[in-house]
Amino acid sequence: MISYRFFGAFRLLLAVLVLLQHFLANIAPEAWMRAAHPYAIGEVAVLAFFALSGFVISEAIDRFYGQRPVAFLLNRLLRIVPHFVVAMLISLVVHGLFLKLGILQYGRDSGALPEGAFSFGNVALNLLSFLPALDRGMTHNFLEIAWTIRVEMMFYALACLGIALPSLGRDRMLGVPTDAAAATLIAAVLFALALAGRLPAMFLFVPHFAFGVAAYLALKGSRGSILLGATTLVGVTLTAVHRASAQASVDVAEAWLVQTLLLFALLAVMCFAATVRSRRFAGLDQTLGRLTFPLYLSHQSIQVTVLSVVGGDSIGAFAAAATLSLATAVALSALVDPAVDRLRDVVRGHRLNGAAPDAAEAAVRRPAGASAA
């Protein structure tokens, strides 16, 4: 049986923080927007998401995907693509409908959509914009939060490469496993080049994913994980300073230390949640976690809907947007997750709900050459 990690409510909290940043910036009364703006709570939550991803993916590779890079990548695509495509189609329909009605408003001070926003090429790029670099040719981005998915996909690609690489020929190097040493060195080089402006900014988030990896290794009792974790926190801080120096908003730039401390607090909550072993409330936690991704992806379409229909700058519009976002997440989870979960169970070779292993798991565990009973 796979032990359950109480990450569901934590993931939903992070998604709610992202939603709050967008709704405070575009729908809530202006006084609320000005008060919340410097702390960039949604951006901080995204960084915590990256760390959580590092933890979860490390555990998944350790338990299911050792020497199975194709299965790993297929499972991650199944996790990302169905919800992403559904959310993008909803966004396209919402934008197109209100544009046709002549009442489209997608932000507090949004203007008209750029020419060519609904061209075949731009729509196609938007539908594929979960892939790194495909956003560069866009005329208009219909799902702004897609940049975080591209960063995730970068990490998945690096993890897949790590699974696929053959042994380096020596089990240990200076007391550290060679695979871990090589991965750490590559990550450090990518991060340094990004700091120097020689690589895309997405590699600035390598330390965040690496912190999640270090947290998982620490729970496994790995020597050196504490040092790795401390090093990644230095990298996280360097990223915060670098991003502050490039900020167009002076208020946001000056609050970088508060943002970093908030991130550290969220990382501490993540580490605590990873240690909880009780099965009590696991069902509720899992249900809350299922709402995370559809809420994360669909709330911007709700923002466009509320702004276009009733306008913003009011508590009522803010409350309506939050309520509609939650209801939409519940509906999309019920619509998309069941079929996708069945496919992911087959690819993974194990169900994650604590039920008995299915036929796919039996096939994974069966020795090579054994017949299927």
In this predicted structure, what is the pLDDT of residue 77? Answer: 96
Q: What one-character DSSP code corresponds to residue 198?
A: S
In this predicted structure, what is the pLDDT of residue 372? Answer: 30
Instruction: Give me the average pLDDT of each 10-residue run along the chain (373 residues).
Output: 82 98 97 97 98 95 89 95 98 97 92 93 96 91 96 93 66 49 82 95 96 94 89 97 94 97 98 89 93 98 97 96 98 96 90 46 36 30
In this predicted structure, what is the pLDDT of residue 92? Answer: 98
Number of domains in the chain: 1
How far is residue 298 from each of residues 174, 286, 305, 328, 333, measured CA to CA in Å?
48, 20, 11, 7, 11
Asked whether residue 2 is domain-assigned, the answer is no
Q: Which two tokens stand for residue 244?
A: 């502050």
200: left (phi over 0), alpha (psi -120 to 50) or beta: beta
Task: Give 335-368 as a DSSP string.
Answer: HHHHHHHHHHHHHHTS-SSS----HHHHHHHSPT
In this predicted structure, what is the pLDDT of residue 300? Answer: 97
Identity (one letter) of the amino acid at 153? M
In this predicted structure, what is the pLDDT of residue 177? Answer: 53
Name the pTM for this structure.
0.90
Asked whether residue 370 is domain-assigned, the answer is no
In this predicted structure, what is the pLDDT of residue 184? Answer: 77
**Bridge partners, residue 343, by sequence:** none
Asked whether residue 312 is domain-assigned, the answer is yes
Asked whether residue 372 is domain-assigned, the answer is no
Asked whether residue 3 is domain-assigned, the answer is no
In this predicted structure, what is the pLDDT of residue 166? Answer: 60
Domain that holds residue 313: 8-365
d(CA 371, CA 196): 55
Q: Which two tokens stand for residue 363?
A: 């096939």
Asked whether residue 262 is domain-assigned, the answer is yes
Q: Which two tokens stand for residue 372?
A: 């299927």
Asked whether residue 193 is domain-assigned, the answer is yes
How far is residue 217 from each of residues 54, 68, 183, 210, 213, measured CA to CA in Å?
11, 20, 14, 10, 6
Beta strand segments in the chain, E: 172-173, 176-177
Asked whether residue 33 is domain-assigned, the answer is yes
